[in-house]
Amino acid sequence: MSRVLVISNDFVRRSMAGPAIRSYELARQLQLAGNDVTLASRGETDLHERAFPIVSHEPVRLQALARASQVVLFQGHILDSYPFLVDSGACLVADLYGPFTLEVLVQRAAEAMPADAMGNPDEALRSLDDQLRLCDFFICASEKQFDYWVGALTALNRINSETFSRDPSMRALIDLVPFGLPGDPPKKRGKAMRGVIPGIGDGDLILLWGSSIYNWFDPLTLIRGVVEASAAHPNLRLVFMATQPPNPHIPKFRMLTQARELADELGATNRLVFFHEGWVPYDERADWLLDSDVGVSTHGDHLEARFSFRTRFLDYFWAALPILCTAGDSLGDAVEANEMGVTVSAGDAHAVALAIDRLADARYRAQCAERVRGYATNYTWSKAAQPLISFCANPQRAADLAAIAPARVKSVPLRDHVGVTPRRDWRSLSLKAIETVLYQGPSGVWRKGKSYLRRQRG
């Protein structure tokens, strides 16, 4: 087996969001398969039970760990932050389960964003472009995502005679590793909402929004539908399980503010609609799931939603919750095809009210729950991680990169948008150089300098 470094783009702690959960669970499956695994977190971890080392991001340490590894698995903007990974000698595996370039587009349309890789579409695309050009293996979450990423890889000439000859299906270059769920069923340790949150009782019908509220979601249509349905179902309660992501660098999103304002305007706050402040720790989420009757997720009609793989759906599957969701993404399609709940069109509050009316029937919910329970067996982490485990059992360079030095792999020049003036004065460049020296050393300055000059030449 292999020595594997898993680098999370998030904080791996008791309270963690989807990216950190995915890194942690995939690291655990790789360790169970016999690999020597180290997981790197954005900051110090507070997890006490660890089957493998969990270290914080520190460039010198990461560089040493990468050079000692056969495989480096990462997500998000990690390659942009630590470009020395390219020269580590390890096979690079990019986790593409969250198409962050599409998230940036939604974010930028919703509110002002910083002009870095997290908020600038051109910078996000450049960061993604580097991954697609330089990595040996890619994982994504669904067949819909597979088609999307094959298109992107084709545009960068990664779908070529060498990669096709190795495997015409392209599964040797990119394969499905969806978000997973635990193999053991959830166990309730105590009440989370009923009789705990004022206004929520034992006989209430609880709809659980099992995540925070990001700008790519549409809680507004859901809130309006809940208010409409409450006329027939006064015991209806909608609970948003989280409000502030555990990553301290992520601000509260505008959509969360709009959801609070709408609930206040409709007189629903703490009567029909409840916002749990903070974030529920990962090992306590079962209490919230098992205190609920229906799992909900609604989004707008946009490209991010089409190619998303909503991670909290897997918690609904795990707890055998019937689901009310917007149609159109991979898991929404699965809910509809397998009759695991009710799907609605984007933006249709009346359809939400009708769906709630249907799901208020306990017998119908029980039928949906049984189908969810059967479907969930397809998504245990042990099954989901198999393509990654197989790659780590025999890691090898991508067929087209094996004989090419990384420096010879050309990037695709990006053109600036008209009216956007990037910060290129000597002060900003000097500050950037100093920051790079501190975190990546002289070699990092050299690499970023060459990349900058190449982009200027177009």
Is residue 457 assigned to a domain? no
| 8 token code pair | 């999370």
pLDDT in tens, 365-413: 999 999 999 999 999 999 999 999 999 999 999 999 986 655 455 554 4
Is residue 357 assigned to a domain? yes
Contacts 24+ apart (CB under 8 A), 197-202: 197/239, 197/274, 197/276, 198/270, 199/237, 199/270, 199/271, 199/274, 200/237, 200/239, 200/274, 201/235
Is residue 222 assigned to a domain? yes
Buried b / exposed e over 431-441, threshold 16 CB at 10 Å, is eeeeebeeebe
Q: Check whether residue 315 and residue 395 sit in a common domain.
A: no
Q: Check whether residue 369 and residue 391 sit in a common domain.
A: no
pLDDT in tens, 198-208: 999 999 999 99
* Tally of domains within the chain: 2
Domain boundary among 312, 346, 379: 379
Q: Check whether residue 72 and residue 146 sit in a common domain.
A: yes
| 323 token code pair | 């689901």
Phi-psi region of 301 (alpha: psi -120 to 50; beta: other; left: phi over 0): beta
Distance CA 64, CA 43 (A): 18
Distance CA 427, CA 437 (A): 15
Q: Check whether residue 36 and residue 119 sit in a common domain.
A: yes
Could you tell me how many helices (H) and strands (E) the chain has, helices first? 18, 13
Q: Check whether residue 372 and residue 397 sit in a common domain.
A: no
Q: Are 105 and 304 in contact (CB under 8 A)?
A: yes
pLDDT of residue 443: 67
Neighbours of 148 (CB within 10 A): 18
pLDDT in tens, 82-120: 999 999 999 999 999 999 888 888 877 766 555 554 568
List the beta bridge partners of residue 175: 139
Provide the domain limits for residue 389. 3-180+385-422
CA atoms within 13 A on the CB side of 372: 29
Cα–Cα distances (Å) from 412 to 82, 130, 157, 268, 417, in that order, read: 20, 9, 11, 50, 16
Query: Which of 208-217, 303-312, 348-357 has the largest mean confidence?
Result: 348-357
Averaged pLDDT score across all residues of the chain: 89
Q: Check whether residue 358 and residue 343 sit in a common domain.
A: yes
Asked if residue 64 has pLDDT above 90, the reply is yes
